[in-house]
Amino acid sequence: MKLSVAVAGEHAPADAFVVWRGFEHSAEKAAELGFHGVELALKEAGDVDPGKLASLLTQYGLQASCISTGQVFAVSGLYFTHPDESVRARTLAVFEGLIDLASDFGGLINVGRARGYYAEGQAPEQTERLFVDTCRTLCDYAAPHNVTIMIEPVNRYEINFINSVAEGAELLSRVERDNIGLMPDTFHMNIEDVSIGGALAEHAEYVKYVHFADSNRLAPGQGHLDFDDVLRGLKTGGFDGWVSIEILPKPDPDTAARQSAEAVLPMVERYNAGRL
Ligand code: LER
Ligand code: MN
């Protein structure tokens, strides 16, 4: 298991769930605190210069853990189940650009609310069909690039489609591709799943990466989630991937990051040593 932290460019919207903004600033701070990688929250591939990004990561001894795409939905308004075919085509083009980038940076793409949602005037079966078809198209594009697509279950107060890990697993079983999986987020799981550790163990075949945040979306340790239960569930499933801090930058970005590193780096060490 390795630890990452979600960061974005300077112009990311105020409500993006990232600790720091500005890639240079973020990389320097992440390395200082002992994170192993950074999760890059992007709107499109053009947000970064791949050459500059590669030298920045080398300079600070960091890896790119994944590319996350919350802004594709929140800023650009693009999503898989849009009723308009031309919007779906633009969505595919943006994701294909991000997949090209991910082939050199982490090999993992997150899909949050860009998966789409149940909408008035669209039959639920049609929403699900568009979701499955788009996943298949993107997985087939991503496979030769060795990139995996990860759908993130998100709680019911943010979206009405794929809220729990169990719902995500059911939908993904219909996609029938090897390079698709889930990115559970402990904040959302606390709202939606019957048991956090239980669901992580039960659906381990799909669990590729995990967002760590406490019950109040602050740094792990600042709320009431039982992270021992999370770790035990992951261990039962044989998980050996990235966990990434995706929290509100409160009380301020540096404090939130430091609290996260101080709480989670020892967990990662215990996990990797098999001491749970
Ligand atoms: C994104 O990773 C996330 O967790 C969502 O809450 C964003 O809407
Ligand atoms: Mn998340």
- pLDDT averaged over consecutive 10-residue blocks of the chain (276 residues)? 96 86 95 98 96 98 98 97 98 98 98 98 98 98 98 98 98 98 98 98 98 98 98 98 97 97 98 96
In this prediction the pTM is 0.98
Q: Is the distance from the beta carbon of residue 217 to the nearest atom of ligand 1 less than 6 Å?
A: no
Question: What pLDDT does residue 11 have?
Answer: 86
54 Cβ partners below 8 Å, 6+ apart? 104, 105
Residues annotated catalytic, as ranges: 152, 246
Distances (CA, A) of 159 to 6, 97, 123, 260: 21, 25, 16, 27
Question: What pLDDT does residue 12 have?
Answer: 87
Q: Return the ligand 1 atom nearest residue 155 CA.
A: 6
The answer for 68, left when phi > 0, alpha when psi is -120 to 50, beta otherwise, is: beta
Question: What pLDDT does residue 117 have?
Answer: 98
Question: What pLDDT does residue 61 have?
Answer: 98
Closest-approaching ligand to the CA atom of 210: 2
CA 58 to ligand 1 center in whole angstroms: 28
Neighbours of ion ligand 2 (CB under 5 A): 185, 211, 246
CA 219 to ligand 2 center in whole angstroms: 13
Question: What pLDDT does residue 165 have?
Answer: 98
Q: Return the ligand 1 atom nearest residue 110 CA.
A: 2
Question: What pLDDT does residue 272 have?
Answer: 98
Domains with residue ranges and CATH for the chain: 2-273 (3.20.20.150)
CA distance 135 to 102: 16
**Ligand 1 test: best mutation among 66, 154, 211, 218, most atoms within 8 Å of CB?**
154
Question: What pLDDT does residue 14 have?
Answer: 80
Question: What pLDDT does residue 275 have?
Answer: 95
CA 273 to ligand 1 center in whole angstroms: 30
Q: How far is CA 248 from the centre of its chain?
A: 15
CA distance 30 to 250: 16
Question: What pLDDT does residue 15 have?
Answer: 79
The answer for 146, left when phi > 0, alpha when psi is -120 to 50, beta otherwise, is: left
CA 211 to ligand 2 center in whole angstroms: 5
